Amino acid sequence: MRSVLTLALDCVAGALEKTSGPAGFSLHRAPVSGRAQLADTAYEIASVMPSGVRLEMLTDATEIEVDAQLTQVVMAGSEPSDAVFDLVVDGELRPPVTTSRQTLIRVDPATMAMDEHPSPPATLRFPLGARPRERRVEIWLPNSRAALLVDVRAPGEASVRPAPASGPVWVHHGSSISQCSEADRPTGTWPAIVARRAGRSLVNLGLGGECHLDPFMARAIRDLPADAISLEVGINIVNGDTMRERTFVPAFHGFLDTVRDGHPDTPVLVISPVVCPAVETRPGPTLPGTDGKVHTLDRPAELASGALTLKRVRELLTEHVERRRKAGDRHLNLIDGTTLFGPEDIADLPDGLHPNSAGYARMAERFLPRSFGEAGLMR
């Protein structure tokens, strides 16, 4: 086996940037400007969790090996799970490839103190076929781990080159409900399910806890090639209590204004929040409770004016998307998030905030015809 790391890096799809360090290559889903301006550890970790990032290659190799430095963040008292990679060969989804070798960062939920347990890189082996013939190969990186690409190897003189894009580019930005760390495999996130079935090349900029209508993310989307754009907006703002109504409305318009500077006629689909019982009618912030679910904090009534609930966010998004449409933006549309995952689905909302794998699959089934179906809003 010989290293084909340089060739493999040219095959990366779904990442905004590749950066090198002493341990390997990081595949970032957050813009460099945002990482520099925030200088925030949580944002950096979300950036290198490669949900939707994959290697798309044409190769006549019979197998591929990948060395990856993986890091899982777990709350103290919770058990870690295996890291999962997915393999797609000539369009066929193969069984997942897993490893338990990963660095663990245990977080004390009371103090947020972190205790790190290092591990060396893991080696993943992907069998492609007994005979050496050229195949289209996709290796989907984990959706719930920070990952560094350390090396990629192929047998002997096997060729490796970038595969053509899987279809028109779909850029999606959202929260942890778009990153989908709870999905049981990388191709099981709802954006990945939709992209594969619709024949779209996915750029998933869903960042856990980090969707706050940030100007640097709007600029990143503005500057990306995109045939369709979707924005899942609101849950992080409410759960973090990071905006009130007065700031949310102009931030939403400013975000769209910037995106439209680069994509004046591209279909843009806004997705309002899916159900989260704790903040439907109560403002955030939220914190995890001893029952494993998120809960709100009480606040004095005199401080509640302008505070956002999910109900109010949905009303504002509906109102202001319609205002922009009346002003001439006919390529802008909105989907009510509760039609994708609503009150009738809360059995698949274990922590009261994040859907499980079955919930994400249901979201994909409902989103697909409304986005990329024959009468879809992003066709």
Q: Average pLDDT, stretch 215-230?
A: 98
Are 124 and 269 contained in the same domain?
no
Inter-CA distances, 143 with 5, 50, 84, 103, 379, Å: 21, 6, 8, 16, 26
Radius of gyration for the alpha carbons in the chain, expressed in angstroms and rounded: 21
**Residue 245's domain spans which residues?**
169-371
Domain annotation covers residue 87: yes
End-to-end alpha carbon distance in the chain: 43
Q: Is residue 29 a contact partner of residue 204, using CB atoms and an 8 Å limit? A: yes
Q: What are the backbone dihedrals phi and psi of residue 229, each rounded to the nearest 5 degrees, phi first?
A: -135, 135
Are 187 and 153 contained in the same domain?
no
> Which of 127, 162, 197 is a domain's end point?
162
Rounded Cα distance, 197 and 189, in Å: 12
- Determine the pLDDT at residue 114: 80
Residue type, 251: A
- Determine the pLDDT at residue 160: 97
Domain annotation covers residue 379: no
Q: Convert the pLDDT of each residue in 166-187 to its tens digit.
A: 999 999 999 999 999 999 999 9
Into how many domains does the chain fold? 2
Are 61 and 191 contained in the same domain?
no
Are 196 and 327 contained in the same domain?
yes
Tally DSSP H helices, then E strands, for the chain: 10, 22
Residue type, 341: F
Q: Is residue 287 a contact partner of residue 295, using CB atoms and an 8 Å limit? A: yes
- Determine the pLDDT at residue 75: 78
> Which of 139, 162, 185 is a domain's end point?
162
Are 96 and 229 contained in the same domain?
no
Rounded Cα distance, 270 and 233, in Å: 7
Residue 110 has pLDDT above 80, yes or no: no
Alpha-helical (H) ranges within 305-378 are 310-326, 357-371
Are 214 and 73 contained in the same domain?
no
Q: Convert the pLDDT of each residue in 324-360 to its tens digit.
A: 999 999 999 999 999 999 999 999 999 999 999 999 9
What is the residue-wise DSSP string for 161-192? EEPPPSSSEEEEEESHHHH-TTSSSGGGSHHH
Q: Which two tokens stand for residue 241?
A: 């209590």
- Determine the pLDDT at residue 288: 85
- Determine the pLDDT at residue 116: 86
Q: Convert the pLDDT of each residue in 250-295 to its tens digit.
A: 999 999 999 999 999 999 999 999 999 999 999 999 988 888 899 9
- Determine the pLDDT at residue 184: 96
**3-state SS record for 218-248:** HHHHHHCCCCEEEEECCHHHHHHCCCEHHHH
Give pTM, 2 decimals: 0.95
Residue 196: which CATH number? Answer: 3.40.50.1110
When pLDDT is cut at 50, 70 and 90, the band that residue 304 belongs to is: confident
Are 182 and 157 contained in the same domain?
no
Residue 120: which CATH number? Answer: 2.60.120.260
Are 225 and 354 contained in the same domain?
yes
Domain annotation covers residue 175: yes
Tokens 């209590």 label which residue? 241
